Amino acid sequence: MEDLQKEANHKEDMISYAEATTEQPITKEDKIIEKLLKIQQDLSTNISGLNQFDERPSE
């Protein structure tokens, strides 16, 4: 549930960022940030998937 909330917040942030930058030219820094955000999202998805197979007892 917490992961879903984080993902929803991330999507809201991305939409807000996209709306704020729609009228502005894209800079090299913007492209780097965009790529890093995509990597962060992919890592979050992978970690969530791996957590499903975590057999350690929860603390």
What residue numbers bound the domain in which 30 lies?
2-51
Q: CA 5 to CA 25: how far, in whole Å?
A: 31
pTM of the model: 0.48
pLDDT tens readout for residues 2-34: 777 777 677 777 666 666 656 666 789 988 999
Locate 33 and state its tokens.
Answer: 């940030």
Residue 28 placed within a domain: yes
Domains contained in the chain, number:
1
- Lookup result for tokens 């499903």: 52
Residue 39 placed within a domain: yes
Residue 36 placed within a domain: yes
Residue 56 placed within a domain: no
